[in-house]
Structure 1
Amino acid sequence: MTARLDQLRRCHFAVDLGASRTRVYVKGAGLVVDQPSVAAVNTRTGALIAVGELAERMTGRTPHYIRVVRPVSGGNVVDIEMAQRMLRHLLGDKVRRTLRRKAFLRAAACTPNDADPLGRRAAIETLVGLGARRVELVDTLIAAGVGAGLPVERPEATMIMVCGAAATQLAVVSLGSIVASERIPVGGDAVDHAIVQHLRHQHELILPSQSVRPLQLALSGNGLTPQGPASTEIHGLDVATGLARSVKVDTAAVRDAIQTPFTALFDGIGKVLRDCPPDLVADLADRGIMMVGGSALLPGLDQMLRQATGMPVSIAERPELCAIEGLGAMLEGRVEPLELNLPAE
């Protein structure tokens, strides 16, 4: 990773294009963009109406000629043109003018560990459309590990779990490289879907599909842990009448409902550990799992992982920003490569 660090230090800005949020770090200025990866388009004229938080608030509330789109899915850009337009508006004229003054604009971007060549090409083309002459791609797991303060450059095992909206990425990292990894198509959206289905089937209640995350809206604090409240009141629409109705929901039943998507997560951890050398697994028994990503804040998730794996589990400080902060640390030169002090021959 030494050569990669030298190249990253020459970059002028970094982008973390996530399925849920887009974040941009500009060298010397810090984090300048942290907005939802959403855009609203007028289908009649093709004009971009809104991006970010305003576009997200429009979801489910627009007339027929306005379409709300997400140009990023599962960590990969699925609509290059729309992603470019969204980024231009999120950056704003002032930041774009600053970047355009660079003689040879370089950029860095996060990509999932299992991204195929088309996904990597889409990320590069998106930033080239913003004026970048060269784009460096960094594995999201490595960037998140650096942002979480993990010693990814040392010969020590570190397990990191990036909990995203669409998927969860697991990896054991040592010497700046990934030793074993697994991508599980279960994220915060799957948990939300499980809760929505539970309310629909057990209580005949429909939650507003495009509101704030149903889990965070319905349950406050530590509601999904055994020490949380026994029940909580939820407002929604009655399936039969379509009228507003409130019901009291047993949080223990909700915990059972979200266990199903988490089963795949526990299986993924076991597979990664089986693929690791014994010496690294011994390291992990002491250090445990570091959780990063926005979905790491789901109440009770860390406790479920401790019970299922028997390993220490910790959540990074500001886990949703770890990937972009890791990229920023590489850009600013705050990450030093491992130097070997070999005797002279």
Structure 2
Amino acid sequence: MTASLEQLRRCHFAVDLGAARTRVYVRGVGLVVDQPSVAAVNTRTGALIAVGEFAERMKGRTPHYIRVVRPVSGGTVVDIEMAQRMLRGLLGDKVRRALRRKPYLRAAACTPHEADPLARRAATETLVGLGARRVELVDTLIAAAVGCGLPVQEPEATMIMACGTTTTQVAVLSLGSSVAAERIPVGGEAVDHAIVQHLRHQHELTLPGQSVRPLHIALSNMGITAQGPASTEIRGRDVVTGLARSVQVDTAAVRNAIETPLTAVLDGIGRVLRECPPDLVADLVDRGITMVGGSALLPGLDQMLREATGMPVHIAEQPDVCAVRGLGYMLEGRIEPLMLAPIGA
């Protein structure tokens, strides 16, 4: 953990800037923002037109002079100025005025595991632009583990898997820090892309840009497991004619299509386990893996991990808000620090 719990208790608000959604927690108030990390800009005037849900609905439906952008990619701010403007719009005037009244405004933010100095600086400058005088950075994996109630501070193994939009982070935690961790450049978008490509090549079908998670449309019930439905109907646009049509999709073929991106995740889990001391791996036999993040809800993903690893796999309650909830717990002082004072003579 980059920041100490004592420093985090002095923070007034916390931000989880994700590639898919942005969440803001205000101490004493709770979660005040949970919106898509999207902004719409008028390229002629430079004016910000919309942010959040409304901006996301504009994607693929705007005239040429309106650009819909995502200032965050893979948990890293790629456009600091646009991220600041988006956050101001999401917070609204009332919350911003309340924060500005703080005499020495402090903020906390999640950063991906082993984020490089540029990524940490971008997160810091984004919140400084909102008026924060000091910014504390917390590893996303530790914040998420705290948010789903795992005993992060104890001398025992806790394995967490943060399934994001563009990346998947896996770590074994003990005594408040990561013992072994892996950041895999595969997330929910890679799974969606594999399904979209399969439908295009095998069925000459293009899904609409506003379809809600192609995987959720293509699969149901038992999801990507073999016990799921044999086929399902899906609607889209014909690649050749451009007309709308529907086809029956073989879910077994869909499972094969998404095998490649999910195999990379399984390989990452294996590498993390091989780096861990045997005593910690033994702890995980009963406790297993806890999945957090929005992509943890991909249907059947937990069952596939159980079959591949032989360990229990649990999906956290409200997995998509675990990281910001963990930051909130730290701000509110709900987490007791583990005292490791030196033994005096």
**TM-score scaled by structure 1?**
0.97
Deviation at 1:162, TM superposition (A): 0.2
Q: Note if contact 2:128-2:134 (Cα within 8 Å) is conserved in structure 1.
A: yes
- The one-letter code of the counterpart of 2:143 is A
Deviates more, 1:220-229 or 1:150-159: 220-229
Q: Which residue of 2 aligns with 1:161?
A: 161
- The one-letter code of the counterpart of 1:13 is F
Q: Which residue of 2 aligns with 1:80?
A: 80
SS of equivalent to 2:178: strand
SS of equivalent to 1:240: coil
Q: Note if contact 1:161-1:292 (Cα within 8 Å) is conserved in structure 2.
A: yes
Deviation at 1:344, TM superposition (A): 6.8
What are the superposed Cα offsets for residues 34-71 of structure 1, whole Å, 9 maximum, x if unpaired? Answer: 00000000000000011001110110111100000000
Q: Which residue of 1 aligns with 2:63?
A: 63
In structure 1, the gaps of 5 or more residues are none
Deviation at 1:338, TM superposition (A): 1.5
Distance (Å, rounded) in 1 between the aligned partners of 2:75 and 2:344:
46
Segments of 4+ moved more than 3 angstroms: 339-345
Deviation at 1:228, TM superposition (A): 2.2
Distance (Å, rounded) in 2 between the aligned partners of 1:156 and 1:14:
28
Distance (Å, rounded) in 2 between the aligned partners of 1:64 and 1:17:
28
Distance (Å, rounded) in 2 between the aligned partners of 1:82 and 1:3:
26
Are residues 1:186 and 2:186 paired? yes
Deviation at 1:229, TM superposition (A): 1.7
Deviation at 1:115, TM superposition (A): 1.0
Q: Which residue of 1 aligns with 2:44?
A: 44
- For residues 331-342 of structure 1, what are the structure 2 equivalents within 5 Å? 331-339=331-339
CA change 1:283–1:61 in 2 (3 A) is same
Distance (Å, rounded) in 2 between the aligned partners of 1:321 and 1:152:
17
Distance (Å, rounded) in 2 between the aligned partners of 1:92 and 1:158:
38
Q: Which residue of 2 aligns with 1:287?
A: 287
Q: Which residue of 1 aligns with 2:314?
A: 314
Deviates more, 1:317-326 or 1:223-232: 223-232
Q: Which residue of 2 aligns with 1:253?
A: 253
Distance (Å, rounded) in 1 between the aligned partners of 2:293 and 2:233:
28
Q: Which residue of 2 aligns with 1:125?
A: 125
SS of equivalent to 2:323: helix
Q: Note if contact 1:83-1:126 (Cα within 8 Å) is conserved in structure 2.
A: yes
CA change 1:223–1:11 in 2 (3 A) is same
CA change 1:248–1:3 in 2 (3 A) is closer
Q: Note if contact 1:2-1:337 (Cα within 8 Å) is conserved in structure 2.
A: no
Aligned residues: 345
CA change 1:105–1:195 in 2 (3 A) is same
- For residues 1-345 of structure 1, what are the structure 2 equivalents within 5 Å? 4-339=4-339, 345=345
What are the superposed Cα offsets for residues 104-128 of structure 1, whole Å, 9 maximum, x if unpaired? Answer: 0000000001211000000000000
% identity of equivalent residues: 81
Distance (Å, rounded) in 1 between the aligned partners of 2:279 and 2:297:
30
Deviation at 1:218, TM superposition (A): 3.0
Q: Note if contact 2:76-2:119 (Cα within 8 Å) is conserved in structure 1.
A: yes
Deviation at 1:2, TM superposition (A): 11
SS of equivalent to 1:35: strand
SS of equivalent to 1:64: coil
Deviation at 1:170, TM superposition (A): 0.5
What are the superposed Cα offsets for residues 283-328 of structure 1, whole Å, 9 maximum, x if unpaired? Answer: 1112111000000000010011111111111100000010000000
SS of equivalent to 2:225: coil
Q: Note if contact 2:218-2:251 (Cα within 8 Å) is conserved in structure 1.
A: no
Q: Note if contact 2:2-2:139 (Cα within 8 Å) is conserved in structure 1.
A: no
- The one-letter code of the counterpart of 2:53 is E
Distance (Å, rounded) in 2 between the aligned partners of 1:213 and 1:302:
17
**TM-score scaled by structure 2?**
0.97
SS of equivalent to 1:10: coil
Distance (Å, rounded) in 2 between the aligned partners of 1:306 and 1:292:
15
What are the superposed Cα offsets for residues 223-249 of structure 1, whole Å, 9 maximum, x if unpaired? Answer: 322222211110011111111110001
- The one-letter code of the counterpart of 2:335 is V
CA change 1:52–1:199 in 2 (3 A) is same
SS of equivalent to 2:156: coil
SS of equivalent to 1:179: strand
Deviates more, 1:78-87 or 1:205-214: 205-214
- The one-letter code of the counterpart of 1:31 is L
Deviation at 1:216, TM superposition (A): 1.6
Q: Note if contact 2:13-2:106 (Cα within 8 Å) is conserved in structure 1.
A: yes
